[in-house]
Each structure stands twice: as structure tokens, then as C-alpha cells.
Amino acid sequence: MARRADKAGFTLIEVLIAMSILAVGAASILSIFVWAIAWQSKRVEDNRLVGLYNHALAHARARFNEFDPGAVPKGEPLLPKKIVADLRDKNAARASSDKMIRDAAERFDGFQYIITFEENDLAVPGSSVVVDIEIRGLSGQRDESSHKWFLTRDSAPAG
């Protein structure tokens, strides 16, 4: 019988140890890939959300600049009507009479944004307004998000 020193190769224990080290390394690398993909998906969603907020804010600004406070009956608030842009039904959004909603349907399908014009102590009736923009239909844990902005008419000075 030949002795161990005369044989070339690895023992079963050496092979098992090498395989377990490789398995731990592969699992670590795989978990990093999974984390990176999840992080990238979150960044893409955040970028879409920022784009949607910017679009909704431009929509609110356009509606407010088109709004004629002189056409509002006495006693009524000098505010434009609420805007509801439901982009979850892409075909209905594309058929909307509002160009801003049609534009949003091409880039932000699956969401809904609601723009509410509000009076505020700082707002000057007819020339400035507080705008609440609410986004619905976000994936993951954030189901809904809302932010407020202060807008003035393009011709009115910011106060």
C-alpha cells in the first residue's frame, strides 16, 4: 500500500473546505448583486417621482396662470378648480382635453396626481396660492406622497 506522500491530489476534507469557502464567497457576491438591483430600482422610481412632481407643478402653474379671478362669483374663493390626473388608464388619459394630462400619460403611466389649490395666510387672493400635489400609485411601501408649494402668477411679484 502506498503512503499518502506518494499520491498526488486532494483529500475529501480539503475539497469540502474549498467548496464551502467558494459557496460563502458566491453567496456574498450574489447578495451584493441583489442589493444593487433593488437600489437601482429605487433610484429609478425616485427619479420618476421627481419628474412627476415637476410635471404636476408645471401643470398647476399653467392652470393658475390661465385662471381668471375676475370670472369668479363674489363670495367664492379666488382659486382654480382641483385637477385630478388619473394616469392609471393610459387610454383615458390620452383622450383627455387637458394637454398636460395627455403629456403625463406618455411618461408617467400607472400614477395618479391630484392638484388642490388652497388659500393661505401668505397667499394674495387672485395673485398667489398654495398648491398641494398628491401622488398616488407608488410602488413598495410609499403608496402616497404629498407636497405643498407656494405659487405666484407669472405677472405678479413673489411676496
- What pLDDT sits at residue 34? 94
Average pLDDT over every residue of 98-121? 88
pLDDT at 89: 86
Instruction: Report how far residue 55's alpha carbon sits from residue 53's, in angstroms, rounded to the nearest whole number.
Output: 5
Q: How far apart, in whole angstroms, are the C-alpha atoms of residue 91 and residue 68? A: 30
Give the tens place of pLDDT for each residue, 27-56: 999 999 999 999 998 898 888 888 999 999
In the numeric block, the cell 391630484 is attached to 114
Strand 144-152 vs strand 128-136: parallel, antiparallel, or unpaired? Answer: antiparallel
Residue 3 — very low, low, confident or very high, per pLDDT cuts 50/70/90? low
The DSSP symbol for 122 reads: T
Distance (Å, rounded) from C-alpha 150 to C-alpha 135?
Answer: 17
- Residues contacting 137, CB < 8 A, separation 6+: 87, 88, 110, 111, 112, 143
Q: Report the predicted TM-score, pTM, of the whole model to 2 decimal places.
A: 0.72
**Residue 116 forms beta bridges with which residues?**
132
Q: At what angle do helices 12-66 and 99-107 cross, to 10 degrees?
A: 170
